[in-house]
Structure 1
Amino acid sequence: MSKELVFGHQNPDTDAIVAAKAYSYLQNQLGYDTEAVALGEPNAETAYVLNHFDEPTPRVVTTVKPEVDAVMLVDHNEFQQSVSDIESVQVTHVVDHHRIANFNTDQPLEYRAEPVGCTSTILTNMFAEKDVKIPVKLAGLMMSAIISDTLLLKSPTTTDKDKEALRALAQIADVDYKSYGIEMLKAGTNVDAKSDQELIDADAKSFDINGKNVRIDQINVVDFEDVLKRQSSIMTAMNNEAQSEGYDLFLVLVTDILNSNSKMIVVGEPTAAVEKAFAAKLTDNVMDLPGVVSRKKQVVPQLTDALN
């Protein structure tokens, strides 16, 4: 059996990197030859998680065709979020919890998608289904991914499956997930150490919405002013990237992880559609979004409706 690479989306978050590691481990136990890789360096939160559990950082790849003919995707399916030469290889497996868009294959494949808060939740259940034991360290990593994607179970994307998986993984890892989770989330909020470009790219995803090229970034903070004090220079970076990459809209969702509220910085057009999507007004390119914390559930669907 030929080797396959397993990876999550570009600008990987904790779930993208951990899910790749977890799915690669599971598939190897089932007889496949796989390696977990990443499509970018770990962010500060993920680096904290890897360091905490003494887990090596996966190697970063920009192309896959020179190495393999087939790949497995986790935590994404849209080709614009994947490796640059994704259309040159066969996708044999996908495990994801996002919408399915801009995705097609020439060959049949194994596709597992569930409307849950985290890919690692799906994988937790897949381990049980395959009767494969989750190692202690891997349980800690997967627990961390669920904490990250659900903001410690506060996100509206959180389901009962996420809660059950988190508790089960925390028990295997022997970790108090509540106290650990707060420290882990805080570790990812040191925005002062990042340049404007790093901030707008760190957790950004591209979406094709009714013919509009929309870029949506999310920055977690414990104080909105950490980002808003740099709004002018951040908007300059957003405008420059929008022009160079052809984005019609570039949105930066700044999320207060402790109080579960967000503010959104908007550049591009049509801003009227953004105001319609959230029934709110922009003031100096910033919109208040109380209670909004999830890009997947509280931003993309609303924008899609408004742009359609």
Structure 2
Amino acid sequence: MKDIIYVTGHKNPDSDSICASIAYAEFKNKVGDSKVIPLRQGELSRETQFILDFWGIEKPLLLTTMKLQVSDLEFDRIAPVQPEISLKMAWSIMKKNNVKTLSVVDDNSKLKGIVSVSNLTSTYMDIWDNTILAKSNTKIENILDTLSAKSIFLNEPDPSFPGKIVIAAMLPSSAEEHIDAGDVVICGDRQDTQSMIINSKASLMIVAGNHAVSDEIVEMAKISGCSIISSPHDSFTASRLIVQSIPISYVMVSSDILKFSTTDYVDDIKDVMLKTRFRSYPVVDNDNKVVGGVSRYHLISQKKKKVILVDHNERSQSVDGLEDAELLEIIDHHRLGDIQTGYPIYFRNQPVGSSCTIIASIFFENGIRPSKKIAGLLSAAIISDTLMFRSPTTTQTDRDILKTLAEITCIDPEEFATKMFKVGTSLEGKSVSEIFNQDYKVFALSKLKAGVSQVTTMDIDGFDPMKSEMLDYMNKKAKDENFDLLLLLLTDILKGGSQLFVAGPSKDLVSKAFAVTLVNDSAYAPGLLSRKKQVIPPLTSVIQELNQ
């Protein structure tokens, strides 16, 4: 089985983050032996959804944690069994798959009970009940299979056996005293004994030793209503095996069953296992259908999830549970953050306008031409992150790479940009929470906790009715989540500047960093387009000056 590697961008993903995840996953799948899966850490913006729809690509899987889950373990994926199967069959399945417990399900694959080795052995270790076939409602199919028997005559398609189990190993006159109507009787080839059994109204006669049964006896059985089967085993073996024909539903545990879901975290199930003593625990999927069983052994052999980060390298922006994963690579174009590893990894960081510029370069450096769809994603992300080269983060590398990609996609970047920005920058129908969080990142600036959101628009005046509500939302968020500073950049692509909205106890830092005067916690900053290059560096410098 191939190793699974996940590629993910940052939380509250923008187009560059999503497109980078998808594109780099395709590259890794082309050059490696592992199965590489792109992920997303939140819902898509309108712009990103437009890009994926335009190129006919499905959105990545939403997986917001790298914490190990039950689904990541190599647990026993043994098919569950039906309650009607015999103890013998259950034992055979356990031996074949080297497991000690089986899950029992109903016709809808929902958990009904569990049966373990101890349940099977208790049938022998406890005082034997010779009416167990009646009590357990054992089917003839189970008896035939368990005794390797063949049917001679069945009184009805599904006969019942209400009596006890008797071995007729004595003279007919003596055996008759022990046989009652409805009993199951094991006998040999003596015809006088067979006649006596039938006349005693036994429900089933088991002829041991694979002996033939005369036509006369069969006719008697038809009249009396006694079923007859023939087994190759001797009387002793048949009597020993027949108890294994009872259905597992008779011995299974059906109440207070402790089970785990595939989405449960391993850390959580460890605690449960420490407090209980079961050999194995059923595992169910999201539909509550049984998919296997997990035991303590599987926790010992657990493997960490493998992950590659793109378009970020700060822990606060990254997938939850990153500390529990094996970090393999980072591809980014931002400042160096605070993610640390205990071993060397491949880390590529370039001062370009888009992570997808780097990923496209990786394709070309390895002599690989991206598919038309992936080239389209890479192009769209470069256009988005550089604001069609209006952003100061734009480099000649971005321009050159986009030109090469445009030749593959056969699209005009300017025309595509107009369509994309028109769809992506519309704020119509969005709440202030949706607007603020659609491209929002958290930063650790010295000892200050800051959050910076950036929203691009082609109609900055259309935001005016939301200003008051947005500031109320930001002030509440700053207070509830202990932010020193929250900043929203409403970036006007056409005018080439941003309207700033600020909240938090350290909001005066914005005035110093950008040389603007805040009026009602808002100000316009001409030429300010890049969060990465024009927002974080000035704020960091001001904070450092104040700390000196």
* Structure 2 length-normalised TM: 0.55
2:9 maps to which residue? 8
Deviation string 1:120-148 (CA, Å, 9 cap, x unpaired) is 10111111111112101110110000000
Name the CA distance, whole Å, in 1 between partners of 2:475 and 2:519: 17
Name the CA distance, whole Å, in 1 between partners of 2:366 and 2:430: 42
2:24 maps to which residue? 23
Which region of structure 1 is more displaced relative to structure 2, 93-102 or 226-235?
226-235
Larger radius of gyration: 2
Q: 1:35 aligns with which of 24, 37, 42?
A: 37
Name the CA distance, whole Å, in 1 between partners of 2:385 and 2:23: 16
Asked whether 1:236 is paired with 2:236, we answer no
Asked whether 1:153 is paired with 2:389, we answer yes
Counting only pairs closer than 5 Å after superposition, residues 134-283 of structure 1 correspond to structure 2 as 134-283=370-519
* Equivalent position amino acid for 1:129 in 2: E
Name the CA distance, whole Å, in 2 between partners of 1:185 and 1:42: 15
* Equivalent position amino acid for 1:241 in 2: K
Name the CA distance, whole Å, in 2 between partners of 1:46 and 1:69: 27
Name the CA distance, whole Å, in 2 between partners of 1:38 and 1:125: 22
* Equivalent position amino acid for 2:367 in 1: D
Secondary structure (helix, strand or coil) at the match of 1:293 reads coil
* Equivalent position amino acid for 2:476 in 1: N
Q: 2:47 aligns with which of 30, 42, 45?
A: 45
Name the CA distance, whole Å, in 1 between partners of 2:367 and 2:344: 25
Could you tell me how far 1:186 is from its partner in structure 2? 1.6
1:126 maps to which residue? 362
1:284 maps to which residue? 520
Could you tell me how far 1:180 is from its partner in structure 2? 0.8
Asked whether 1:307 is paired with 2:543, we answer yes
Greater relative contact order (Cα < 8 A, sep 6+): 2
2:57 maps to which residue? 55
* Structure 1 length-normalised TM: 0.98
Preserved CA contact (<8 Å) 2:16 2:382: yes
Name the CA distance, whole Å, in 2 between partners of 1:96 and 1:105: 16
Secondary structure (helix, strand or coil) at the match of 1:230 reads helix
Preserved CA contact (<8 Å) 1:98 1:296: yes
* Equivalent position amino acid for 2:49 in 1: A
Structure 1: give runs of 5+ residues left out of the alignment: none
Secondary structure (helix, strand or coil) at the match of 2:40 reads coil
Name the CA distance, whole Å, in 2 between partners of 1:186 and 1:246: 35
* Equivalent position amino acid for 2:484 in 1: D
Name the CA distance, whole Å, in 2 between partners of 1:205 and 1:53: 27
* Equivalent position amino acid for 2:380 in 1: S
Name the CA distance, whole Å, in 1 between partners of 2:510 and 2:522: 11
Which region of structure 1 is more displaced relative to structure 2, 71-80 or 129-138?
129-138
2:317 maps to which residue? 81
* Equivalent position amino acid for 1:62 in 2: T
Deviation string 1:189-217 (CA, Å, 9 cap, x unpaired) is 11122111111111100000011100000
Secondary structure (helix, strand or coil) at the match of 2:501 reads strand
Secondary structure (helix, strand or coil) at the match of 2:41 reads coil
Name the CA distance, whole Å, in 2 between partners of 1:104 and 1:268: 29
* Equivalent position amino acid for 2:65 in 1: T
Deviation string 1:17-54 (CA, Å, 9 cap, x unpaired) is 00001111111111132100100111000000011111
Which region of structure 1 is more displaced relative to structure 2, 233-242 or 157-166?
233-242
Secondary structure (helix, strand or coil) at the match of 2:519 reads coil
Name the CA distance, whole Å, in 1 between partners of 2:431 and 2:508: 29
Name the CA distance, whole Å, in 2 between partners of 1:304 and 1:35: 35
Deviation string 1:138-183 (CA, Å, 9 cap, x unpaired) is 1011000000000001100000000001111111000011111111
Preserved CA contact (<8 Å) 1:12 1:40: yes
Name the CA distance, whole Å, in 2 between partners of 1:204 and 1:183: 23
* Equivalent position amino acid for 1:206 in 2: V
Secondary structure (helix, strand or coil) at the match of 1:29 reads helix
1:110 maps to which residue? 346
Preserved CA contact (<8 Å) 2:484 2:505: yes
Preserved CA contact (<8 Å) 2:479 2:504: no
CA RMSD after TM alignment: 1.1
Name the CA distance, whole Å, in 2 between partners of 1:108 and 1:191: 43
Preserved CA contact (<8 Å) 2:311 2:355: yes
Aligned length: 308
Identity %: 37
Preserved CA contact (<8 Å) 2:307 2:327: yes
Name the CA distance, whole Å, in 1 between partners of 2:326 and 2:462: 43
Secondary structure (helix, strand or coil) at the match of 1:23 reads helix
Preserved CA contact (<8 Å) 2:432 2:473: yes
Could you tell me how far 1:63 is from its partner in structure 2? 1.1
Structure 2: give runs of 5+ residues left out of the alignment: 73-303
* Equivalent position amino acid for 1:17 in 2: I
* Equivalent position amino acid for 2:335 in 1: R
* Equivalent position amino acid for 1:150 in 2: T
Could you tell me how far 1:185 is from its partner in structure 2? 1.3
Could you tell me how far 1:288 is from its partner in structure 2? 1.2
* Equivalent position amino acid for 1:165 in 2: I
